[in-house]
Structure 1
């Protein structure tokens, strides 16, 4: 009985030492690993103390902004918002079940105008500004509220179709 209590107490001290190390160099994966390591403890009291310390460290790190917990829907929203930008760091949102890359987005025109060269600049209601990069003719003027579909094309380019018209090549500027 005394040995079991000493073992549980030692496990609590190890968990707290791990908690202190996590505070010195916070890293999301280290905190998650600390939490999952608690499952290895067999003594109920030690496992509970470990879980309490690990969840407290995780909650504290999240409150300070040292880590961010994102669910699948939030990750997909970030990928859609960043569609058109070349941001390799977004691959961290690809964890979990294979979702595949975002190949197209839809939205509505918030504002559309032509630049000095007669090429369209389109700002979307959902965020993001796109600039026409080819010389395709747009038959009808683009207006706020028109439906937009932007799709990946060859060689890292994008095709934008507005209001069901013929698509033109575009690049994301903002």
Structure 2
């Protein structure tokens, strides 16, 4: 899988931050140069700038798989990193709106038929709606985003119920 290249260039006036931020985009312009020597010189010049920006920490390269996994881990928390990349196409391509896992352990959460559900990924969720049955360990559970910022869960393909993430 190809990595997502995120250009997070520090605004350093001496280096011309507007010019530096276009360095990655200019790589495609090098491909259009017909003369081999000139094209190679263009690639070498830009590769050196990219390497320097990466070494200095001004350029960050992330693997799409790692980004999606991180978003899965944060799914349901109060401040999810939903727009890590500024809300653009990269964010839409790595959006996590559903999580399929299994229940590791279920404990009653006080009165009214609520349950704390510890999932295989380590997250802990609490049912907001009353569950008429005790959830079973190792049962499959699907969590998805709901309207108004909430979350719904379904155990083993059953009816959905409201949940909130505790940790």
TM-score by length of 2: 0.62
Question: Which one of the candidate residues 82, 89, 94 is aligned to 2:83?
Answer: 89
Match of 1:70 in 2: 62
CA RMSD of aligned residues (A): 3.8
Question: Which one of the candidate residues 133, 136, 147 is aligned to 1:139?
Answer: 133
Contact kept, 8 Å, 2:127 with 2:164, in 1: the verdict is yes
Paired residue total: 150
Match of 1:120 in 2: 115
1:128-156 per-position Cα deviation (integer Å, ceiling 9, x unaligned): 3322223x12402442x221111222322
Match of 1:3 in 2: none
Q: Evaluate the alpha carbon distance shift between residue 79 and residue 94 of structure 1 in structure 2; reply closer, same or farther with a 3 A threshold.
A: farther
1:51 has 2:51 as partner: no
1:45-73 per-position Cα deviation (integer Å, ceiling 9, x unaligned): 34322311322332444455543333544
Cα distance in 1 for residues equivalent to 2:19 and 2:103: 40
| Deviation of 1:92 (Å) | 4.7
Match of 2:8 in 1: none
| Deviation of 1:89 (Å) | 1.9
User: Based on CA coordinates, which of the two structures has the bigger radius of gyration?
Assistant: 1
Cα distance in 1 for residues equivalent to 2:37 and 2:166: 56
Cα distance in 1 for residues equivalent to 2:144 and 2:119: 15
| Deviation of 1:114 (Å) | 3.3
Contact kept, 8 Å, 2:145 with 2:152, in 1: the verdict is yes
Alignment of 1:144-155 (within 5 A): 145-155=138-148
Q: Say which is worse superposed, 38-47 or 120-129, in terms of deviation.
A: 38-47
Higher share of residues assigned strand: 2
Higher share of residues assigned helix: 1
Question: Which one of the candidate residues 99, 103, 106 is aligned to 1:109?
Answer: 103
TM-score by length of 1: 0.60
| Deviation of 1:94 (Å) | 5.3
